[in-house]
């Protein structure tokens, strides 16, 4: 472990102590007192540094992290320490409706986090032009045969439960980790298909995000860009998708394994795209099945989210979406905050958030939803 740099009191502090000694003109105020003060400060700083280093080593063990060199480890420790100071200061402030804490990303600067774990999910031009005053019956259904406008996805006049949690119904797989391949669009789509397959009477099967990353040719499917609705459409055209046991995740784009395209552990008929800016329609859809949504993960609070409340975004949260989530439930009167909330499945692993899930503010004053959640909701239909 690289040694800590020698501690020195700031010059201004030393001068201030000297001035105090002169002003007090105390016979007990000697150079020895200054030396003792500096020694005590050095010891205190050293103890704090060692405590933080111990925490860093425990974090490294928890997240199976290692570094190529001592210099890189020291640099990552400094980033970790800076993040922990931000986390602890923010939690002490008490202004949030949730808690921050250690995550798999605590050794990353915010810029590094954004570059690696968010992607390009900007809305295509035709989506940006949609109106926000339509009913759910104006939703667009897309199948392998093409688009069917106005076919509807069920009317909002049908009563929906006050709360839904598809995890409690055994219809949601544990949170997965996308790694350094920012294919959040594939994870959001697969999570929705997995749940729908179970809800419609099948087994709960962990399906293959890698097959989508490698083989989806309906749009711009990569580790940095893609769309969940394109993923649903590709599965529909392929007449199914394999499990991740058959086509496992490797965390980077490879050549499509065409010999596995005929393995169908779940199927999709098409995709429903809801009108934008209608949280009530998302609620009606989630009452029947999980829904994929876009999201702006650009605020540092999201990088460090650890649960214990409802995430409302921060100053860095906007409608410039760069991530995708799957809404797997909703509720009222959250036990920590008393607010209405969405339950969203993320793709940052189970050591982020609340076992990989995040509670998001629901029924916000901004019609686009928290961090753009209501801009582009989509979900699959089944054969």
Active site residues: 184, 323, 346
Contact 155, 135 (CB under 8 A): yes
β-pair type (164-165, 357-361):
unpaired
- Of the candidates 368, 330, 381, 372, the residue with the CA atom closest to the CA atom of residue 166: 330
Three-state helix/strand/coil letters over the chain: CCCCCCCCCCHHHHHHHHHHHHHHCCCCCCHHHHHHHHHHHHHHHHHHHHHHHHHHHHHHHHCCCCCCCHHHHHHHHHHHHHHHHHHHHHHHHCCCCCCECCCCCCCCCHHHHHHHHCCECCCCHHHHCCCCCCCHHHCEEEECCEEEECCCCCCCCCCCCCCEECCCCCCCCCCCECCCCCCHHHHHHHHHHHHHHHHCCCCCCCECHHHHHHHCCCCCCCCCECCHHHHHHHHHHHCCECECCCCCCCCCCCCCCHHHCCCCCECCCEEEECCCCCHHHHHHHHCCCCEEEEECCCCHHHHCECCCCCECCCCCCCCCCCEEEEEEEEECCCCCCCCCEEEEECCECCCCCECCEEEEECCCCCCCCHHHCCCCCEEEECC
In this structure, are residues 374 and 279 in contact, taking their beta carbons and an 8 Å threshold?
A: yes
Q: Are 298 and 121 in contact (CB under 8 A)?
A: no
The strand pairing partners of 177, in sequence order, are 348
Q: Contact 290/168 with Cβ under 8 angstroms?
A: no
Spell 25-42 as b/e; 16+ CB within 10 A means b: eeeebeeeeeeeebeeee
């Amino acid at each position: 472990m690289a040694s800590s740099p020698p501690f020195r009191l700031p010059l201004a502090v030393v001068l201030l102590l000297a001035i105090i000694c002169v002003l007090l003109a105390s016979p007990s105020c000697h150079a020895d007192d200054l030396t003792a003060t500096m020694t005590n400060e050095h010891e205190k700083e050293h103890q704090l540094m060692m405590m933080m280093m111990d925490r860093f080593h425990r974090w490294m063990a928890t997240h199976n992290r290692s570094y190529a060199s001592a210099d890189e480890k020291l640099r990552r420790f400094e980033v970790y320490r800076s993040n922990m100071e931000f986390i602890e200061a923010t939690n002490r402030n008490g202004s949030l409706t949730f808690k921050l804490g250690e995550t798999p990303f605590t050794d990353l600067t915010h810029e590094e986090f954004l570059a690696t774990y968010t992607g390009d999910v900007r809305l295509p031009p035709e989506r940006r032009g949609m109106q926000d005053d339509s009913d759910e019956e104006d939703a667009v259904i897309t199948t392998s045969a093409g688009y069917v406008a106005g076919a509807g996805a069920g009317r909002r006049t049908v009563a929906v439960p006050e709360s839904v949690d598809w995890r409690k119904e055994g219809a949601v797989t544990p949170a997965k980790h996308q790694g350094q391949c920012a294919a959040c669009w594939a994870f959001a789509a697969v999570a929705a298909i997995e749940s729908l397959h179970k809800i419609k009477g099948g087994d709960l099967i962990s399906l293959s995000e890698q097959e989508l990353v490698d083989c989806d040719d309906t749009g711009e499917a990569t580790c940095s860009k893609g769309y969940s609705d394109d993923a649903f459409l590709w599965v529909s055209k392929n007449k199914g998708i394999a499990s991740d046991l058959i086509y496992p995740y490797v965390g980077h784009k490879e050549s499509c394994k065409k010999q596995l395209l005929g393995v169908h552990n779940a199927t999709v008929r098409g995709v429903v795209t809801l009108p934008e800016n209608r949280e009530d329609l998302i609620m009606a859809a989630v009452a029947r099945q999980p829904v994929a949504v876009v999201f702006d993960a650009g605020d540092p609070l999201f990088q460090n989210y650890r649960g214990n409340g409802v995430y409302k975004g921060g100053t860095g949260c906007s409608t410039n979406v760069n991530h995708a989530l799957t809404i797997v439930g909703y509720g009222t009167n959250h036990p920590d905050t008393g607010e209405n909330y969405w339950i969203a499945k993320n793709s940052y692993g189970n050591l982020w958030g609340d076992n990989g899930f995040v509670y998001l503010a629901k029924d916000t004053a901004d019609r686009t939803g928290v961090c753009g959640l209501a801009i582009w909701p989509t979900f699959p239909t089944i054969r």
